[in-house]
Structures are given as structure tokens and as C-alpha cells.
Structure 1
Amino acid sequence: MAFGDRKSERVDFESGIPVYIMGIDGTWRRDCLMFDVSQTGACLYVEGKLEGLDLNEFFLLLSSTGLAYRRCRMVRLAGDQIGVEFLTPDKTANRKRNPKRRSDETPTSRQS
């Protein structure tokens, strides 16, 4: 299934590659087939119901053991196929702690 304009080049899989989607909290998991993938997202056929699942943020598991995964969110829904966008850590999230600047980095010497 083709979805609109692509931001990056996709690799198509004719028969689909078996993958899984899983909730961030691990409370749900669905079998899927990945039909195409790029650096920014993928197109998946989802087996089972999507109703009631939080698809704003979830994991795409590329192996049954979960050792290869991507964090993603659903961007398109068309029946039992979804388009997902891979999420990247926000660079500003790593800067939550801002070290306080000292007004005087060097000790002052007293003049007598």
C-alpha cells in the first residue's frame, strides 16, 4: 500500500517480513507483517484488532526476542494497515539539568 509523499527512500518486501508491535508498557502485543521500511518509518499489516490500543507511542519489534526494536507512532490508518513514523529521542530531553552558572568562577583575592 502506498502512502503519500515519502521523506526517505523505502525498501519494499513483496511478501512482508514478520514483526511485532508492542505497547510501551508491555501490556499488549500484535503480530504484523512489514511491507516496506525506511529510515523514518514503515508500513505494517496488523493481525488482530487495533481498537483500544495506544498507538501514539509503541515499539516495533524486529525480532521475536525484542533485541532489535524501534520506538514509533502511528501516522496513517487504512483498514488493517498502518503507517508508522520512527521516533527519535528529543535532543533537549538530555538537557533537562542545566548546570547553574557561577557568577565568579575563580576565587577572588582580597586586597589589603
Structure 2
Amino acid sequence: MANNTEVKATAKYVRMAPRKVRMVVDQIRNKSVDKALEVLQFSTRAAAEPVAKVLRSAVANAENNNNLRADNLVVKYAYVDEGPTLKRIRPRAKGSASRINKRTSHITVVVAPGKEA
């Protein structure tokens, strides 16, 4: 097994605005998996739950598919891309309407064996 093996997991079409999810993802980048999960567990932001789920999935992929040990994995990359936006309309005064954009996110987490940065 190569030492620089990177394992990734992705959650697509998560019904949260990418801007809000990025605030959580920025907190776990370059941390060990244990520390990252701890940060997510005690985060008050709603986006912490789907991000933790993706991180656990990446760790499970590393253990099952690449025979890596979870205790020495590090979050190498973590990023959020914008998914399709659901466009909704809210009635306003004088018969007009305004648009509400319900944004979605694609969350990607890449873990690799190594030292915490």
C-alpha cells in the first residue's frame, strides 16, 4: 500500500447554503480525524452534522477499501462546492413576488495518513 494514499467521501445535494457549510469545514482542515470529529461534535452550527457524517464516511472508506488505520488519518482537504439552487417565490405587497433561493451544497472530505499540520 502506498504511503500517500488519499481517500475521499462526498455528500451531494445537502440542503444548506455553501457559505454556511464552509464556516464549519474551515475548522477541520489539516486536523487529525479524532480532533476534527471532536470539533464537529461540540460545534453549535447545524452544518456540523452533515460534515461529520461525510468525515466518518471518508474514514470508513479508508479502513475498508485501503486498509488504513483510523488513528493516524488527517483531514488533508475539505471543501464545499455549490449545488443546484431551488428557486421559490414568496408573495409580496401589491401582487408582486420576490424570489427565495434555497441553496444546496456538495461537501467533499479527503483524508490521508500523516501528521497533523
Give the TM-score normalised by the residue count of structure 1. 0.28
Higher helix share: 2
Higher strand share: 1
Give the TM-score normalised by the residue count of structure 2. 0.27
More relative contact order, 1 or 2 (CA 8 Å, 6+ apart)? 2
Larger Rg: 1
